[in-house]
Structures are given as structure tokens and as C-alpha cells.
């Protein structure tokens, strides 16, 4: 029995925390009202956002429609004078 408890505790502790955030309804500076809603926790990637293709919002059932641009190639700006480190 003690072993089962320890394994269950280890599983809970080792899983990453996935928390959704509640956003209160508010009015933007341009006058547009944004209704209260839940969103995935902010981070630096897009593939885990509800609005990204392949994901579904568990609160509304709406399927994501936006492309994931997390790993898009972003070349350096070749128009800048200091862009080439070999000059």
C-alpha cells in the first residue's frame, strides 16, 4: 500500500503544471469589448495555444485555425551595417 502511494505521489509531482488563466471582460483602448474567457498559460511557443491548428479549445469546442510560427526561419537583417560579423 505504501508503494502505491509513493508511486502516485511521484507521478503527480513529476508531471508539469498545466494551468489555464481566466481573463476578465474588458474594453480595449479602441472601444472594442472583450468578453471574459479562459486562455492557455502564456509562454514562448505557439503549438500549445488553443487557437493553433491541431488544437481544440476545451471550453468552447472551437478548433484552432492559426498556423504555428514558433520555429519559422528568421534570417538576420542583411540591410543593417552591423549584420555581417565578418566585415
User: Is the residue at 11 inside a domain?
Assistant: no
Structural domains in the chain (count): 1
User: Is the residue at 52 inside a domain?
Assistant: yes
61: left (phi over 0), alpha (psi -120 to 50) or beta: left
pLDDT digits (tens, 9 = 90+) for 39-70: 888 777 777 888 888 888 888 898 988 888 87
Residue 16 is predicted with a pLDDT of 47
User: Is the residue at 64 inside a domain?
Assistant: yes
User: Is the residue at 47 inside a domain?
Assistant: yes
Record the pTM: 0.46
Helical residues (DSSP H) of 1-87, grouped into ranges:
2-14
Interior angle at CA 38, CA 50 and CA 67, nearest 5 = 20
* Domain extent for 47: 18-71
Measure the CA–CA gap between 26 and 70, rounded to whole angstroms: 28
Smallest Cα–Cα separation from 38: which of 27, 49, 54, 46? 49
The cell for 39 is 486562455
Amino acid at each position: 500500500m505504501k508503494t502505491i502511494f509513493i508511486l502516485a505521489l511521484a507521478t503527480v509531482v513529476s508531471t508539469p503544471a498545466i494551468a489555464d488563466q481566466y481573463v476578465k471582460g474588458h474594453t480595449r483602448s479602441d472601444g472594442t469589448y472583450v468578453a471574459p474567457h479562459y486562455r492557455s498559460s502564456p509562454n514562448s511557443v505557439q503549438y500549445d495555444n488553443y487557437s493553433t491548428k491541431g488544437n481544440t479549445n476545451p471550453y468552447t469546442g472551437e478548433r484552432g485555425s492559426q498556423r504555428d510560427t514558433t520555429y519559422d526561419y528568421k534570417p538576420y537583417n542583411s540591410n543593417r551595417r552591423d549584420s555581417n560579423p565578418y566585415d
